Chain A
Amino acid sequence: MALKALDIYKLLPKKNCKECGDPTCLTFAMKLAGGKADIELCPYLSDEAKSVLGASTRPPIRLVKIGVGTRNFKVGEETVLYRHEKTFYHPTGIVFRVMDTMTSEEIIAVTKRVRDETLTRVGADLRFNGIAIENVSGSAETFARAVETVEKVEAHLPPVLISKDTAALKAALVHCGTYRPLLHAATLENVKEMCALAKQHGCPLVVRSDSLDGLVQLVKTCTAEGVPDLVLDLAPDSLGEFILRSTAIRELAITRAVPDLGYPVYLNAAQTGQQDAAVAVGIVKYGSVIVTDPLPVGAAKAALTLRQNIYTDPQKPIQMNPGIYRVGSPDKDSPVLMTVNFSLTFFTLQGYLESARVPCFMLIVDTEGLSVLTAVAAGKLSEMLVRDSIKKFGLENEVSHRKLIIPGYASPLSGRIEDATGWKVLVGPRDAAEIGEYLHEEWKK
């Protein structure tokens, strides 16, 4: 059962030494209560206090850091089953796989692609996260050479090393052992040797079993051996098995019913025989590290976009800066379309305006990120706001006419906007998809 901040505070040393990184013991206690800090950060805790606090203050799913440097990524520390309950915090790391049987040219090309490829959407740069190198050759030497090839590109991407053979992993770690690679995978057969390697290099480790029981056993062994940073490979035979086990693990972890399942989940999409679908399912169903062969352009963009959607904080509407935006090269006679600063509304309208090929101005007013419908209902979109925005952004200097097109859903305000601004108001369509037709037919009149 979770403890309240004050209960936790009573067990802390109350020295306010700041060594945990927090200014006071009380603020540290508040973080612990929210599952946002690790009890180990306090150097002065008695063993008794540790045992009381340990299990109930640790985040229900451990945060695991993979890689070092600017491209490292963190997964885990999730607290909910549904994104609408709060939010999902740490986006799925999507890692491209190379095999050690590929030529060095091929390996270098994939590494460079992950290093360079960026999709910019809604003001964010979306990227793939790392390189997985799989030991398909069966030779430790070949595997190590492939890892060396990746590292020589100096892309500084988080590595995932995949091999059943600890000798091969050992040889590969010579080239990337200090970069916090993720090792795949400890099984009941090799868990002791894997732990020794992970411990020696301070790496996170994947444990693999097709039963929850097996995963729990492996987790217990690894933590006892001093390897705390673990990731769970559920070894699914189908997407259905993945959904079932991944959901079970998320549920059992966040309710703290089975704390030993409180680790991020791994999925090898390349092994499923339907990679694109596995990537999609992995993103929405709690996959934290997804290994896939390099995705073709369509799947690559769809995957990055879906991940951005799912990991967007549902508590915060994404907002645009209010102001005047141009579509094409508008002139003094071009139409002006007013809408709200909810980014989705903005980008949707902008997209349709671009395809309509009518140069125009967009007047974006500040509704604090609310959509048209909600802003009208909540009174955030008013004639005063429109009047003030026209003045503030100097719309009068941009066009010689005085006509303003407003969204269909804002039609109840049309009369009041005309009175407050002196501009003639034209009510546009409700659906942005019809704006092209509207402009071609109505504006020309």
Chain B
Amino acid sequence: MQYEMNFGWTSPIGEVLLGATKNDGGTRRVSYRIGGGSTLPFLEDMSTTPAPLIAFEVCDNPAFWSPIIRDYCGDLVTSVSEWAKKADTDYRADLIRLHLTSTKQRNFSDIASLGPVVESVLSATSLPLIIEGSNEPKIDSEVYQKCGEAGQGERLLLGTAEAGKYRSIAAAALAYNHSIIAQSPIDINLAKQLNILLKEIGVQRDHIVIDPYTGALGYGFEYSFSAMERIRFSALKGDTDLAMPMICSAADTLSIKEVREAGPGQQDELAIQWELFTCLAAAAAGAEILCVRHPGTLAPLRKALAGMKQKAHTAGVH
């Protein structure tokens, strides 16, 4: 006897293309099509889909990065291109997420320096890139313009648009055909609202990845988990303004008390487990890009995700 789960879904999650290969006018060795799911995560045959993807996060000024990672990676963090190369060939990430932390310096104004940073990472790795611009409205416009230009043709994912600041990033994405991350503070209605705002200024649905904001495990993660489940649910029930893939980045993980105050011998272990548990729970809730900062998280996470995918013959309930 076959048992059918009857959820009453009406429409699939929209797809977003990350990275452009030679055929598409870029230089990436691979591109990913994420989204496309038509039921809850991990219930259907995913043998042909690479999702969820693991993005390893690097930055161009390590002074604004967790000391745990600086200690673990050593001198590597002083060269963002070497760091990105290592994430590609050694840690075997699917994507690189570059944070332009240099823009966080007080009175930062050297916008011209950002182009070469983006270019150096693009030439150090041929994986698709996510680029995080500044947090400073005054220079946003120029920063995103610079990133968009430097990555022209590469189908980047640019971050991060929020309700209060989305115009300059959208302009850069539209001008150079990149996709963008749309972040809202753990609230399905605000997520929808931002997507509508983006739609109104011309950003297509297939160029948006939703970031519902991920609180660290133990520090609000349950709200993020439920926000992700609700977004996925509404999307499958037909709400096209929420039918985009989601990204999970629990950026606070490395600075929470449990990790920070773990004994010196245990800090890496705590950091890795915290990232692993967060990413797996988020993946089960529907996130398709999982961001990590500790190199030790990638291997166990990759193995677990492979085990969570349905093989073609087991899709459907037996």
Interface of A is mostly: helix
B229 close to A243 (CB less than 8 A): no
Identify which of A83, A296, A308 contacts B218 (C-beta below 8 A): A308
Identify which of B226, B277, B309 contacts A314 (C-beta below 8 A): B226
Cα distance, A279 to B294, chains bound together (Å): 20
Cα distance, A253 to B217, chains bound together (Å): 29
Question: Could you say which of A121, A283, A314, A348 has the most chain B C-beta atoms within 10 Å of its C-beta?
Answer: A348
CB neighbours of B256 from chain A (8 A): 351
B219 close to A344 (CB less than 8 A): yes
Given contacts A240-B311, A276-B273, contact A305 B217 (CB under 8 A): yes
Mask of B1-38 contacts with A, CB within 8 angstroms, 1/0: 10101110000000000000000000000000000000
A354 close to B218 (CB less than 8 A): no
Cα distance, A344 to B218, chains bound together (Å): 9
Cα distance, A293 to B304, chains bound together (Å): 18
A252 to chain B, nearest CB (A): 6
B311 close to A296 (CB less than 8 A): no
A319 to chain B, nearest CB (A): 15
Asked if A19 is an interface residue, CB under 8 A from chain B, the answer is no
B269 close to A348 (CB less than 8 A): no
Given contacts A212-B317, A274-B303, A309-B225, contact A284 B270 (CB under 8 A): no
B273 close to A284 (CB less than 8 A): no
Question: Could you say which of A238, A257, A296 has the most chain B C-beta atoms within 10 Å of its C-beta?
Answer: A238
Asked if A174 is an interface residue, CB under 8 A from chain B, the answer is no
Query: Nearest CB to that of B219 among chain A residues?
Result: A348
B94 to chain A, nearest CB (A): 17
Mask of A223-247 contacts with B, CB within 8 angstroms, 1/0: 0000000000000001111011101
A274 close to B304 (CB less than 8 A): yes
Q: How large is the interface on B (under 10, 10 to 19, 20 to 34, 35 or more residues)?
A: 35 or more
Cα distance, A244 to B276, chains bound together (Å): 21
A252 close to B307 (CB less than 8 A): no
Question: Could you say which of A243, A257, A274 has the most chain B C-beta atoms within 10 Å of its C-beta?
Answer: A243
Question: Could you say which of A299, A305, A347, A355 has the most chain B C-beta atoms within 10 Å of its C-beta?
Answer: A305
Mask of A149-171 contacts with B, CB within 8 angstroms, 1/0: 00000000000000000000000
CB neighbours of B117 from chain A (8 A): none
Q: Which B residues are within 8 Å of any A CB, using their own CB?
A: 1, 3, 5-7, 40, 42-43, 185, 215, 217-223, 225-226, 229-230, 233, 252, 255-258, 260, 262, 266, 269-270, 272-274, 276-277, 280-281, 284-285, 300-301, 303-304, 307-311, 314-315, 317-318
A244 close to B42 (CB less than 8 A): yes
Cα distance, A243 to B40, chains bound together (Å): 10
Jot down 19 A-B pairs with beta carbons below 8 A, ordered by A: A82-B226, A82-B229, A84-B229, A238-B307, A239-B304, A240-B308, A244-B42, A244-B310, A276-B300, A277-B301, A280-B276, A280-B277, A281-B304, A306-B217, A309-B218, A344-B219, A351-B219, A352-B255, A354-B257
Question: Could you say which of A122, A272, A302, A354 has the most chain B C-beta atoms within 10 Å of its C-beta?
Answer: A302
B222 close to A276 (CB less than 8 A): no
B222 close to A312 (CB less than 8 A): yes
A277 close to B225 (CB less than 8 A): no
Given contacts A243-B308, A248-B3, A309-B218, contact A280 B281 (CB under 8 A): yes
B284 close to A309 (CB less than 8 A): no
Interface residues of A in 244-289 (CB under 8 A from B): 244-245, 247-248, 251-252, 255, 257-258, 272, 274, 276-277, 280-281, 283-285
Query: Nearest CB to that of A301 among chain B residues?
Result: B258
Asked if A213 is an interface residue, CB under 8 A from chain B, the answer is yes
Asked if A413 is an interface residue, CB under 8 A from chain B, the answer is no
A309 close to B260 (CB less than 8 A): no
CB neighbours of A238 from chain B (8 A): 307-308, 311
Asked if A327 is an interface residue, CB under 8 A from chain B, the answer is no
A172 to chain B, nearest CB (A): 32
B215 close to A297 (CB less than 8 A): no
List 19 other contacts, CB 8 Å, given A244-B43, A298-B274. Answer: A82-B229, A84-B230, A212-B317, A239-B307, A240-B308, A241-B314, A243-B284, A257-B6, A274-B307, A280-B277, A297-B266, A297-B270, A298-B272, A305-B277, A309-B218, A309-B222, A314-B222, A344-B215, A355-B260
Total interface residues on A, CB under 8 Å, equals 54
Cα distance, A285 to B221, chains bound together (Å): 16
Q: Which A residues are within 8 Å of any B CB, using their own CB?
A: 82-84, 121-122, 211-213, 238-241, 243-245, 247-248, 251-252, 255, 257-258, 272, 274, 276-277, 280-281, 283-285, 296-299, 301-303, 305-306, 308-310, 312, 314, 344, 347-348, 351-352, 354-355, 373, 433
Question: Could you say which of A211, A285, A308 has the most chain B C-beta atoms within 10 Å of its C-beta?
Answer: A285
Cα distance, A298 to B276, chains bound together (Å): 10
Query: Nearest CB to that of B267 among chain A residues?
Result: A298
CB neighbours of A255 from chain B (8 A): 6
CB neighbours of A283 from chain B (8 A): 281
Cα distance, A314 to B269, chains bound together (Å): 30
CB neighbours of B258 from chain A (8 A): 301, 305
Cα distance, A309 to B311, chains bound together (Å): 30
A341 to chain B, nearest CB (A): 15
B284 close to A285 (CB less than 8 A): yes
A101 to chain B, nearest CB (A): 27
A215 to chain B, nearest CB (A): 10
B214 to chain A, nearest CB (A): 12
B43 close to A247 (CB less than 8 A): yes
Cα distance, A272 to B311, chains bound together (Å): 16
A154 to chain B, nearest CB (A): 31
A244 close to B218 (CB less than 8 A): no
CB neighbours of B269 from chain A (8 A): 296-298
CB neighbours of A244 from chain B (8 A): 42-43, 310, 314-315, 317
A277 close to B273 (CB less than 8 A): no
Question: Could you say which of B43, B230, B260, B280 has the most chain A C-beta atoms within 10 Å of its C-beta?
Answer: B280
Identify which of A281, A351, A355 contacts B280 (C-beta below 8 A): A281
B273 close to A373 (CB less than 8 A): no
Cα distance, A247 to B7, chains bound together (Å): 11
CB neighbours of B301 from chain A (8 A): 277
A306 close to B43 (CB less than 8 A): no
A256 to chain B, nearest CB (A): 12
A302 close to B273 (CB less than 8 A): yes
A79 to chain B, nearest CB (A): 16
CB neighbours of A314 from chain B (8 A): 222-223, 226
User: Nearest 4 pairs between A and B by C-beta?
Assistant: A277-B304, A298-B273, A309-B222, A298-B269
CB neighbours of A247 from chain B (8 A): 5, 40, 43
Query: Nearest CB to that of B230 among chain A residues?
Result: A84
A284 close to B281 (CB less than 8 A): yes
